Structure 1
Amino acid sequence: PHVHWSDQQPLAIEGTFPEKLNAWLTLVQRGEVINAYRVFLGLWHEVVGDEARRTKLLAHLVFAGLIDVQDRVLHNRSYTTGHKSYRARATVQLARMVGWEHAGSVLYAGVPDMAVGPRWHSTYEMACLVVQNILGGKDQDFLGNDGALTPVESLALLEALLSGEEPGYIDLIVALLRSGKGLRQIIDTIQLGSAQLILETGDPNSYSMPQHSYEYCNNVRWFFDSFEHPHRLKLLFVAAAFVNRSAHHQMHTPDNGPIKIESPRGAETMSSHELLQRLDDALMGLRAFEAVNWTAAYLQAGHDRAALVETLATGAAKTGNDPHNQELGICLLEDYAHSTARDRDRLLLACAKHTAGHRKYGDHLEAYRRFSEAFAVRA
């Protein structure tokens, strides 16, 4: 392995704390990897024992990842398709787990990446201009919104995301905000759109954009729940743009499209345990559409949701050997637990579809078998 960026010493800079945060983000946007990392370390040493300022610094770290999303996906490689925000979140959560005073190695693993190229901030610029020109620069006025979307509003936004073009979804989100709809309620609906793309994916190699857009939306929801960043509203427009581009990508990629979901024959006579066994068998057998149908049958029967969630979570953990893919099933379940969307069951269906359907490498159960042998778990 080759070390591209060596660890650094902290660099203290002048200014108020908000000015220092802005200076760090400017270095990130300019791609000054070493200087940005040194300034962050200087800020970290300044605030590590101050919970309020430490939280603001960590929020800005994740925010830097969330605003870096490439502006096209069709006929383009997957560079900044949300990866930086995933790493920033992991940096925060791992640092918290090991203890703030012992997080130096965790910061080294995650912070420099925020400034590494390529960098795309054009989608976030769009969000800034929408807020400035259409909402009068008053995004602070809408941060306290908590209204739920009506079924009609939810359907309209989903249609705009999945089959429309700009500025359709932009105008709808602006209208929702002006009518008092909450940021969490809006992102929960955007998540449904991304989950629908997962459901409509055909070929195992075609899951990339739906799964990346979903994990991005998952991170935005986590960000809303974890921090009170002053510019968090703008991320709604970035998330919507990402899902809309993913829909455009899938529309112009072969073997994707609407699917028919129906309970397998005889499912109505089965017990909850039997249904979950059939689901697990479909997940392990990589029969994606069948897994969706068994999930639908279980939901239609009205059985205990907790047992279904446990089966899906275990399946996601067992199936595959690329954690960046396997974690998608867990992201969908995490959001299902707190989603405000009326049709949140779609997240469970998408979880089953993705776990069984996404691209695997080699023996998809090898990692689980190794784990089972090491910890004496019955496979």
Structure 2
Amino acid sequence: MNTTLRRAVIATAAVSMALSMAACGKAGGSKTSAADVSNGFRIGLALPENQTARYESVDRPKIEAKLHELCPKCQVDYENAAQNANTQQQQVDTLINDGDKVIILDSVDFKAIQPSVEKAHNKGVKIVAYDRLAQGPIDAYTSFDNTQVGKQQGQALLQAMGSKASPSSQIVMVNGDKGDPNAAQFKAGAHSVLDGKIKITSEFDTNGWLANNANNEVSGAISRIGGSNIAAVYSANDGMAAGIISALQSAHISPLPPVGGQDAQLDGVQRVLAGTQAYTIYKPYKDEADTAAQMAIDVATGKSVSTADTKVDSATTKGIPAKLIPTSIMTDKNIQQTVIAGGLFTVGQLCTQQYASDCVKAGLK
């Protein structure tokens, strides 16, 4: 073979190799191929924290159970960031490097996690945003209608206040974590109902969803406003409601003003039974968990998102396939029809010895 012909052959081979590599994605074949349910694959589950009872006791087991039902051979790799955004970034990076095909992600901080979401996208790893809509190229999203949740909280608080709900009545608002996009939606929804109906004398946006932080904020508000002048307290969730009620009790305020939350976590429902908490918002977590699991299987295997019935936009991504699960107000009058009928808790779990008489009054058997 002469020199000219040999150079031509080498050049042709080089072009062919380059085209082959381009067809596989980025150099080195970094993008993953579509998963196969029959053979199983790895699925990441990254939850944000363990202070709110729901994540470990409800979300994790229900998501894992549905994933194993849909894909018996799949391996679920679980991570909990304990409310640390940096930790969650490291955990998501680990899931990507371990070969997970899809990650169900409930972000600690929806903005801070964006680089990890982008890294997953560049590697061909799918991301299903769970409960909180993270920034970045999300493939699917499921949650509740969080603005509607806030509206329900506001409506329930006014109903609990009854005749005391007037433009001169002073209330305290303890909103959720600044790094959680849902918190801003709860807040907006609540304000749309409460503004003009009552007087919001003190309002706080918290760092984390911690009962201690809420306790400190309300203790300070009691000192400034006077306990007898607080007509009600809005709490963004049940966990913080526990700290708020403790602050009111420590100040010897009696009777307690209405305090509400959301999430229908076990101790919150029991406080509603006992009358120390006025209401909570019941969220059908099984529906949310089942939806997330189905979405994860769909996007990992290259299918359309079968459970999505709407689309949502984030600050970075438009038209994300989504499913928003309806919620409802829960008081001591409809516990049977909400958390028990929905399979969240049994009567036995709720009606411990401490709450036995309360359960009798509520007609729970």
Structure 1 or 2: more strand by fraction: 2
Structure 1 or 2: more helix by fraction: 1
Which of the five TM-score ranges fits, normalised by the shorter chain?
Answer: under 0.3
Larger gyration radius, structure 1 or structure 2: 2
Q: TM-score w.r.t. structure 2 length? A: 0.23
